[in-house]
């Protein structure tokens, strides 16, 4: 019967040449039973945001394609066109979360090496931690769910490692903008400390931490990060 090649309209309306296309569903191209994910990055990002909310509110057990469709206000089947499997959805969310965090770290970084004082650096790190527990709380909870899943799933673990690796260079630049000369160990230690602080702050009350009435959780956060920064060579 021949190759059965033909042109299909791509997600942007442009013609897309596919090999042995059997049909062209809306927003996607099916090639011998496999649909190529659409290239609508705006919708893909919106779906990832919706998946973050689902993860934060319902945990991994509640994360389904239909749940994301509903949270995003999209027709049933939309999420599955962009993220064909559950593993693809988890990987997409992990990458989206990492990209957002990298953007925030970029925004906090000084323009040149030494542009920030140590107090500036401390303030910016504490502010990032505060935002992780408030305006970015959903993303923080979603990432915690994903990291737990990474202990059980070989499909998710590589993506989480890649996402974490994307954060390290930006975190290093942030430290350097305060005149510090961090080693790889310093960057990894700060990353681990910040994540530990966020987990503790989200899950334990001041009473559970044994804090007296004269000590606030914010003071503990600031003291912890200050001590971590003091161990980094530089100034």
Give residue-wise pLDDT tens across range 136-165.
999 999 999 999 999 988 878 888 888 888
What does the pLDDT average to over 48-64?
A: 96
Are the beta carbons of 94 and 143 closer than 8 angstroms?
yes
Question: Under CATH, what is the fold of the domain 87-230?
Answer: Tetracycline Repressor; domain 2 (1.10.357)
- Cα separation, 222 vs 21, in Å, equals 58
Say what the pLDDT of residue 130 is: 93
Q: Which pLDDT tens digit goes with each residue over 11-21? A: 333 333 333 33
Name the percent of the chain lying above pLDDT 90. 55
Look at domain 40-84 and name its CATH class. mainly alpha
> What average pLDDT does the structure give for the chain?
83
Q: Where are the alpha helices (DSSP H) in the chain?
A: 41-58, 65-72, 78-82, 86-108, 118-133, 137-150, 157-176, 184-203, 217-230
Which residue ranges does the chain devote to CATH 1.10.357.10? 87-230
**Count of Cβ atoms closer than 10 Å to residue 230 Cβ:** 9
């Amino acid at each position: 019967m021949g190759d059965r090649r033909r042109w299909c309209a791509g997600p942007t309306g442009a013609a897309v040449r596919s090999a042995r296309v059997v049909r062209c569903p809306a927003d996607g191209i099916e090639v011998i039973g496999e649909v190529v994910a659409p290239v609508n990055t705006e919708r893909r990002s919106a779906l990832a945001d919706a998946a973050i909310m689902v993860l934060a509110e319902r945990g991994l057990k509640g994360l389904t394609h239909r749940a994301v469709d509903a949270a995003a206000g999209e027709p049933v089947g939309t999420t599955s066109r962009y993220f064909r499997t559950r593993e693809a959805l988890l990987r997409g969310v992990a990458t989206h979360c990492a990209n957002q965090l990298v953007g925030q770290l970029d925004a906090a970084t000084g323009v040149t090496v030494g542009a920030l004082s140590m107090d500036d650096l401390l303030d910016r790190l504490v502010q990032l931690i505060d935002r992780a527990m408030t305006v970015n709380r959903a993303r923080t909870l979603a990432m915690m769910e994903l990291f737990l899943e990474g202990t059980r799933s070989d499909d998710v673990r590589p993506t989480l490692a890649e996402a974490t690796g994307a954060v390290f260079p930006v975190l290093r630049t942030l430290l350097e903008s305060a005149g510090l000369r961090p080693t790889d160990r310093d960057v990894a230690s700060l990353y681990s400390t910040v994540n530990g602080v966020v987990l503790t702050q989200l899950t334990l009350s001041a009473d559970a931490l044994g804090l007296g009435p004269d000590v606030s959780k914010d003071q503990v956060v600031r003291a912890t990060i200050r001590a971590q920064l003091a161990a980094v060579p530089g100034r």
